[in-house]
Structure 1
Amino acid sequence: MPELPEVEVCRLGISPHIQDQTITDIVVRQWQLRWPIPEEVKTITGQKVVSVKRRSKYLLIAFNTGTLVLHLGMSGTLRILPTKTQPVKHDHVDIHFDNGVMLKLNDPRRFGAVLWLPEHQDVDGILAKLGPEPLTEAFNGDYLADKAKNRTTAIKQFIMNNPIVVGVGNIYANESLFMAGIRPDAQAGKLSKKRLTLLVDCIKQVLEKAIAQGGTTLKDFTQSDGKPGYFAQELQIYGKAGKPCPKCQSPLMEIRQSGRSSVFCKSCQKK
């Protein structure tokens, strides 16, 4: 599943092609994705893109009359292609622009979404329940310590909870906790403010590095056979259970938390 860094790289990749461009046509081949695509999306034909932003893993394409919301789900990809490019299997939505390109959503599992916020109003509360962006000043040690008070939830699940902070997926939670020296099964409420502040800094570093790597290894969103989403990353521990810890050479351990793999070093990471 594409996570925050992959979605941010996607935003950076498509923005230069559609910013300030006018939509000439919208082709919907599959109206039922994770949620039904509202028919109102057809009303933005003839409108110009004002901005392309991101909130959590949602891409927000703003127009004068509202905001188009795109989510890639578990398997979705966005490509910039010539408008005459023929559709292939799972090409569900094409958005054509007056500069001769189209933004194409391909989603084999159909867990993605195309939604419309009229007058930019989040009437269904899709975005309202989300916590702060991890790379903003709103996400800091004071904030996380306050949210963690008296919480018995394991710290890994805690930081992966979108109402607490958005965009810390499984890979990045593993990597951040290793960098901070905190075991993934430590109780959130028992961690000191000092350790939680360190964790915040590590989350920011891990995500910033992932975005930077994506910017250098995933440059082209204009090839029809490309696969935007995951990109090559220099991971320290994720997916490396049983291998030597990069810090102390002890074998890395693995546990399951909420059905997901948590890899850690029992020597370098403490509760």
Structure 2
Amino acid sequence: MVANAAEVSTLTKEQDTEIPRLKELFSRQKCAFSSNPMPSAEQRIGHLKALKDITIKYQDQLAAAVNIDFSGRSKDETLLAEILTSVEGINMAIKKTRKWMKPSRRSVGMLFAPAKNEVRYQPLGVVGIIVPWNYPIFLALGPLVAALSAGNRAMIKMSEFTPNLNEVFKAMIAEIFEENHVCIIEGEADAAVAFTEQPFDHILFTGSTTVGRFVMAAAAKNLTPVTLELGGKSPAIVSDHIPMKDAAERICFGKSMNAGQTCVAPDYILVPKAKEQEFV
């Protein structure tokens, strides 16, 4: 399932066919959701368990594909940073889904006594997930787990910069989900634009602030609520009491993880003036 470098151009051409499929896939998911708008806890947990099992089954293929797309990323790093963290997230959702589904009581003003107030948590419908290239497995699976636990259906737009991973991930998802439940979308920037123009019930985007603005503007035309996980500044603060050698080693680890391509990787350091030379 892993393509070599010579096949990337072929994959890109195949991705160009994704745009005409967007509306069709969205419509199919909408119809499927309408037929079962409130999946039971057992159904949701069953989907999560299937996702966990298939992720473990495909872990070696996923790591190999990322290694090709990144022109070198160790299998151990992918397993630690993306597979393990994803499986842990699935385990937590399996454990917590029933609790998350329970109605939550709210207080009632005296004017409305003896009425009772509660919040009932209902699935939104079809969720659009836009995945960046730096952690393409974890940042696809994490939002998907949340969507499935909440009883939603999901369309996932993968990054055009990870074509090999996309092929493996698409095959993995297709093994356990019909396209009217979870589907994978590829394609270049034009496909991403078409994706954000669909009237999703919610969009989750991970990426840059610049692109995030475009996503939110497109979503606003459909009054689609958006969750944005954007980049920003990430200072490392060193206190007086910690050994400077330990601080330097830990900051270097955080900065070098995934070749520094992590949204919370330290990009500047705040150190006590008296400790500056020792730290340097």
Structure having the larger proportion of residues in strand:
1
Fold match (TM-score > 0.5): no
TM-score, normalized by length of structure 1?
0.26
Q: What TM-score comes out, normalization by structure 2 length? A: 0.25
User: Highest CA radius of gyration, 1 or 2?
Assistant: 2
Choose between structure 1 and 2: higher helix proportion: 2
